[in-house]
Amino acid sequence: MALLQRNVALLLVVVAAACMELYQAQTSIGRCSCPRVQPVKGKILDFQVLEKGASCDKTELVVTRINPDNSTQMLCMFTEGTRAKRLLSCWERINKDKSRKMECIDRLKMAGNGTTEK
């Protein structure tokens, strides 16, 4: 009897693990990472470009901003703004090389857009 209970318990664990794998493998069509976007003001420390894909039909831009109190905040940037367009254009120009992202951030500073959204 104990052997049967142990086998049933093992079977339940395997089935639960398989269900979890299947659940995580599903993609929700139309579900983007950025539910709310906004123009971002202030100094940008880093950015991440989320390309169009199966789960989202638009390119998304997530930036890390330095707040006035020197804390950082991750925000989804409105991609139609001037700063976002410059970042995305630079991202394409550097062939999406993550090691060169600072070049794009430095270009924003040199363009005079370090503190305001245009």
The token pair at 6 is: 């142990």
Each residue's pLDDT expressed in tens, for the chain with a length of 118 residues: 677 777 665 555 555 555 455 455 444 455 899 989 998 988 999 999 999 988 888 999 999 999 999 999 999 999 999 999 999 999 999 999 999 999 999 988 888 644 444 4
In the 3-class helix/strand/coil scheme, how is the chain assigned residue by residue? CHHHHHHHHHHHHHHHHHHHHHHHHCCCCCCCCCCCCECCCCEEEEEEEECCCCCCCCCEEEEEEECCCCCEEEEEECCCCHHHHHHHHHHHHCCCCHHHHHHHHHHHHHCCCCCCCC
